[in-house]
Structure 1
Amino acid sequence: MTTFTRLDRSVVGNWWWTVDRWTLLAIGVLILAGGMMVLAASPAIATRLNLDSFHFVRRQFMYLPMAAIIIFLISLLSPLWIRRLAVVCFVLFSILTIATLLVGPEVKGAHRWLWFGSFTLQPSEFLKPSFAVVAAWMFAEQRRSDEIPGNLISMALFVFVVSLLLLQPDVGMALVVSCVWFAQFFLAGLPIIWVVLLLVVGIVSAAAAYSFFPHVASRIDRFLDPAGGGNYQIDRAMEAFQTGGFFGVGPGDGSVKRQLPDAHTDFIFAVVGEEFGVVVCLLVVALFAFIVLRGFSRLLEEKNFFVVLAASGLLIQFGLQAIINMGVNLRLMPTKGMTLPFISYGGSSMFALALLMGMVLALSRRRPGTGELR
């Protein structure tokens, strides 16, 4: 068995002693837990779709090791190469997102996907983390030198990305991107007048989304008036949590996965609640909280402004996605088709999250013996 000493100067040896191994362990536990949850939730969905019972299971277990490799390879990179990777990904997936509007199939009234054989790609999933890093770079450049209009460039890119998402339309993802970008702008030293202005713009945009996107208005109306009907998935999810109690009905013994069409994706947290109980749900919440808080704790001594903004944006995005998914399952938020990171089934989501967490691990590495972030 190979072991690494602190004197090991190889790429992998240096990585082992500089990466945050606690975060790495937590991510590994999430990935393994996700495999177990898909194994519990997806056979019933596959059978209902006249597929082989383990259709989704086999695909997910093919994605998992690939995602782990992506996380490892990206976490080897320096901040400079993370920035370069983000720029390349931003350009590539912007083009592919535009392609979804031109040649992408319409699914439930939206154009968000591209087909590559048997694999369905959602380019906007990869656009989110790459834009967060590019925006951080622009904010950092503005602070480094007033000769570079980083703030204006970041604003222009933000309008471009949000416009693409609204054209699909994907209002929920546009909201996530907006929240992350606003948080990064705030950390970059946003003047108070801009805070007020952007809040006003946000309120006006929310009102416009409610007025011009019927599906958004429908979801908000159903959330505000649950008794009005049309909340089949949310009602079944709440019943699942009630049935599961503290310790669940047991793996494979739940019934919600036979009733919900999205039980293996958007509503997998309800399956967890029914089959494994509140205790396991709280452990999942604790894992997400640990990863986010641990990441921020690693940034407290960081001197590189770009690293702080980029890693903060990625961590906020990761945590916000988990909060939205679990909040929808618990009827704390209007319904939004968003996966639970590393738990829900899906190749695009899994690989995009692997890109995100690989970047976080790379940006939060420490130099041996210095205590500084790498």
Structure 2
Amino acid sequence: MSGLSRIDDSFLGKWWRNTDRWTLGCVGILIGFGYILMLAASPAVASRIGASRDMFIFKQVIFLTLAGLIIFLTSLLSPQGIKRLAILGCILAIIATALTLVHGIEIKGARRWIAIPFMSIQPSEFLKPCFAVVTGWLLGGMKNRSFFPGMIIACVLFGIILVLLKSQPDIGMLSVIAAVFMIQLFVAGLNLAFVGIGVGSMIAAFIGAYIAFPHVRSRVERFLHPNVGDHYQIDTALRAFGNGGFLGRGPGEGRVKDLLPDAHADFVFAVAGEEYGFLVCLFIVLLFCFIVVRALLKMLKEDDPFIILATTGLVSGFGLQAFINMGSTLHLIPTKGMTLPFISYGGSSAISIALAIGMLLALTRQRINYEETVINTGIPGRKRRMVKL
């Protein structure tokens, strides 16, 4: 890409000049960590379940390669194309999420996956980016058109998603989507009194989930009371961090990671801590923070309500997912089975996050608006009209 000059007028050259290369570079580094940490974490997990030691590695190579392609292709779209893609994706994701309640695979008491050849898909993963963009369009339309019922439609859509995710159940995913929706409502200018009501409703919903769902109650009680329940995974993860120390044990030298049942997925951050130490973990945290903060700072110069709200929703969901994974691994919050973007194993997760980042890059791409210019051709009575977009 370095060979693309400023005067390169090709399609690829324009894309490279106008895309946020800093964010793209950070995403590339995260994908690189995904490859490296999968080599360290997955062989022991695969051997434990009787599969080939390289099974998870080969699959993740395919998933991350596909994720990189999706990021590139999606980032080429215009804001209008992103809007259409999100609407279609949201409709399909809602239908597929509803199908999980009938034909889904049940794992640990939850129906969240649909089996297809070579992998299983979690449709609710695709609700996060698509719903964020659709909500951005609905709420942004209220500012551009009078009497547009964007708020009502967005709330109805959120209500449908709430019912579906509660029925699976997937309280963690619902919490992320609800938090993103509240952030978008706040940015859209919702009255602070209603924001307070929304926050209070979320707190009440968490209390209701604690009462209604035994697995939620178990996780909260294990977090609050270290002597209650099974703490094997979190204790092993903390041992891995302690074993790694400041600089880590070195690539392939981790031993505690081999004892983690979900070392390749929900607890991959602990593998990074043991083999590469505190400094690399801090670097990973800073990469996620940089992507989130840079996107939000770019929105300070943006005027389009749709782009502001959609980008805020996309980057908020991305940042919240990373925080939940790393926070639960470090025992800062109750454990929640949520992947670390681009680093944890998972096809649905990698592809859905790639879709979100591709949308983010497309919406934050530089767009220079030129006024219509009339050029004298030198021929009497004849002028050429040029419009650059």
Q: TM-score range by the shorter chain?
A: over 0.9
Q: What 5-or-longer segments of structure 2 have no aligned partner?
A: 371-388
Q: Which amino acid aligns with 2:295?
A: G
Q: Which amino acid aligns with 2:141?
A: E
Q: How does 1:189-204 map to 2 (within 5 A)?
A: 189-204=189-204
Deviations 1:90-115 (A, max 9, x none): 01111111111110111110000011
Query: Is the Cα contact below 8 Å between 1:104 and 1:114 reproduced in 2?
Result: yes
Task: Give 1:125's aligned residue.
Answer: 125
Task: Give 2:90's aligned residue.
Answer: 90
Task: Give 1:304's aligned residue.
Answer: 304
Using the alignment, how far apart are the partners of 1:304 and 1:368 within structure 2? 14
The answer to whether structure 1 residue 346 and structure 2 residue 346 are counterparts is yes
Task: Give 1:14's aligned residue.
Answer: 14
Deviations 1:262-308 (A, max 9, x none): 11000000111011100110010011111111111221110111000
| SS at structure 2 position matched to 1:338 | coil
Q: How big is the shift at 1:10?
A: 3.0
Q: Which amino acid aligns with 2:29?
A: V
Using the alignment, how far apart are the partners of 1:43 and 1:364 within structure 2? 39
Task: Give 1:173's aligned residue.
Answer: 173
Task: Give 1:41's aligned residue.
Answer: 41
Q: How big is the shift at 1:196?
A: 2.1
Task: Give 2:70's aligned residue.
Answer: 70
Q: Which has the larger radius of gyration?
A: 2
Using the alignment, how far apart are the partners of 2:2 and 2:213 within structure 1? 57
Q: How does 1:23-34 map to 2 (within 5 A)?
A: 23-34=23-34
Task: Give 1:364's aligned residue.
Answer: 364
Task: Give 1:286's aligned residue.
Answer: 286
The answer to whether structure 1 residue 152 and structure 2 residue 156 are counterparts is no
Query: Is the Cα contact below 8 Å between 1:17 and 1:368 reproduced in 2?
Result: no
| SS at structure 2 position matched to 1:112 | strand
Task: Give 1:210's aligned residue.
Answer: 210
Q: Which amino acid aligns with 1:10?
A: S
Which piece of structure 1 moves more, 79-88 or 294-303? 294-303
Q: How big is the shift at 1:349?
A: 0.4
Using the alignment, how far apart are the partners of 1:85 and 1:229 within structure 2? 44
Using the alignment, how far apart are the partners of 2:203 and 2:350 within structure 1? 32
| SS at structure 2 position matched to 1:114 | strand
Q: Which amino acid aligns with 1:28?
A: G
Query: Is the Cα contact below 8 Å between 1:254 and 1:274 reproduced in 2?
Result: yes
Q: Which amino acid aligns with 2:63?
A: Y
Using the alignment, how far apart are the partners of 1:369 and 1:25 within structure 2? 26
Deviations 1:140-167 (A, max 9, x none): 1112223111011111111111211111
Using the alignment, how far apart are the partners of 1:19 and 1:193 within structure 2? 38
Q: What 5-or-longer segments of structure 1 have no aligned partner?
A: none
| SS at structure 2 position matched to 1:111 | strand
Using the alignment, how far apart are the partners of 1:180 and 1:46 within structure 2? 35
Using the alignment, how far apart are the partners of 1:9 and 1:94 within structure 2? 40
Using the alignment, how far apart are the partners of 2:162 and 2:10 within structure 1? 42
| SS at structure 1 position matched to 2:344 | coil
Which piece of structure 1 moves more, 327-336 or 251-260? 251-260
| SS at structure 2 position matched to 1:226 | coil
Using the alignment, how far apart are the partners of 2:21 and 2:273 within structure 1? 29
Q: Which amino acid aligns with 1:358?
A: G
| SS at structure 2 position matched to 1:326 | helix
Q: Which amino acid aligns with 1:228?
A: V
Query: Is the Cα contact below 8 Å between 2:240 and 2:257 reproduced in 1?
Result: no
TM-score scaled to structure 2, two decimals?
0.93
RMSD: 1.4
Q: How big is the shift at 1:2?
A: 8.5
Using the alignment, how far apart are the partners of 2:306 and 2:253 within structure 1? 48
Task: Give 1:319's aligned residue.
Answer: 319
Q: Which amino acid aligns with 1:63?
A: F
Deviations 1:194-252 (A, max 9, x none): 11221221121111101101100010000000122411111111111111100111111
Query: Is the Cα contact below 8 Å between 2:114 and 2:120 reproduced in 1?
Result: yes
Using the alignment, how far apart are the partners of 1:229 and 1:216 within structure 2? 13
Task: Give 2:140's aligned residue.
Answer: 140
Using the alignment, how far apart are the partners of 1:196 and 1:361 within structure 2? 32
Using the alignment, how far apart are the partners of 1:245 and 1:2 within structure 2? 38
Which piece of structure 1 moves more, 163-172 or 252-261? 252-261
Q: How big is the shift at 1:4?
A: 2.7
Deviations 1:24-44 (A, max 9, x none): 111001101111001110001
| SS at structure 2 position matched to 1:247 | coil
Q: How big is the shift at 1:7?
A: 3.6
Using the alignment, how far apart are the partners of 1:200 and 1:300 within structure 2? 29
Q: How big is the shift at 1:61?
A: 0.8
TM-score scaled to structure 1, two decimals?
0.97
Seq. identity, %: 50
Task: Give 1:186's aligned residue.
Answer: 186
Using the alignment, how far apart are the partners of 1:173 and 1:78 within structure 2? 28
Using the alignment, how far apart are the partners of 2:282 and 2:224 within structure 1? 26
Q: How big is the shift at 1:367?
A: 2.1
Q: Which amino acid aligns with 1:338?
A: M
Using the alignment, how far apart are the partners of 1:3 and 1:275 within structure 2? 36
Task: Give 1:255's aligned residue.
Answer: 255
